[in-house]
Structure 1
Amino acid sequence: MAILQKQGLTSEDLQLLNSEMLKKQKSSGVTWLLWFFTGGIGGHRFYLGKTGTAVAMLLTLGGLGIWTFIDLFLLNGMIKTTNENIENDLISEIRLYKDAEQNSAVSV
C-alpha cells in the first residue's frame, strides 16, 4: 500500500517524507522497553498513541496482567501499523502542500 501512496512524489518529496519519518516514527526498542517496564499500566500503548486502550490498561492494571501478556504477541503488529499510519498521514500532508502550491501558482 505504501508504494502506491508514494507514486507521483518527486525525489524531494521522498526526501522530505524520509526526514519526517525519522523524526516521527515510533521506535521498536522504546516500545518494547515500555512494555517490559510499564506494560501493566499501558505505557507502551500511550507511546503508540492508543490512548483509549492505554487508559483501560491503566485502570485494570493490564487486565491483571492478562492483557499485558497478550500484548507480547501483538506488539510488533501495533508498532508496524502505527508507523504505517504516520507515513500515510505525512504523505497526505505532502500532497496537500503540493496541491496548495499549484493552486496558488495558477491563481497568480
Structure 2
Amino acid sequence: MAKIGIILETKEYEKAWNAFRFAVTAKKQGHEVKVFLMGEAVECEGLTHDKYNVDEQLKSFVNIGGEILACGTCLKSRHLESTEACPISTMVDCVELVVWADKTVTF
C-alpha cells in the first residue's frame, strides 16, 4: 500500500469535497493518507453546501483514522484556532508530509 500526501489549498466546495472523498477512498483501500490544509483550506472544517458537504467528508476521513494538518500561519491570519480534527502545523510539517509520501496530490 502507498503513502499518499494530499495538499489542499481551497475551500471551494466541490474541489474541497472531492479532495476529502479521494482521501476517504484511498484510506478505505488501505493506503496511509495525510492531508495538509493550506491557505483558505484551513476553513474547511464546518464547511457545508447543499450538494457538497465538505465537513461530512472531512469528518469521515478523520473517523477512519486519516490525519489532517493545518497551516498555523494560515489559521492565525484568519483568527482561527487549532482543532482536534485540524491541529496547528508548520511549513516544516508540510515538507515532511511530502518527503514521507510515495505520491503527493494537490487540490
**Interval containing the TM-score (normalised by the shorter chain):** under 0.3
TM-score in terms of structure 1 length: 0.25
Per residue, is there more helix in 1 or in 2?
1
Greater length-normalized contact order (CA 8 Å, ≥ 6 residues apart): 2
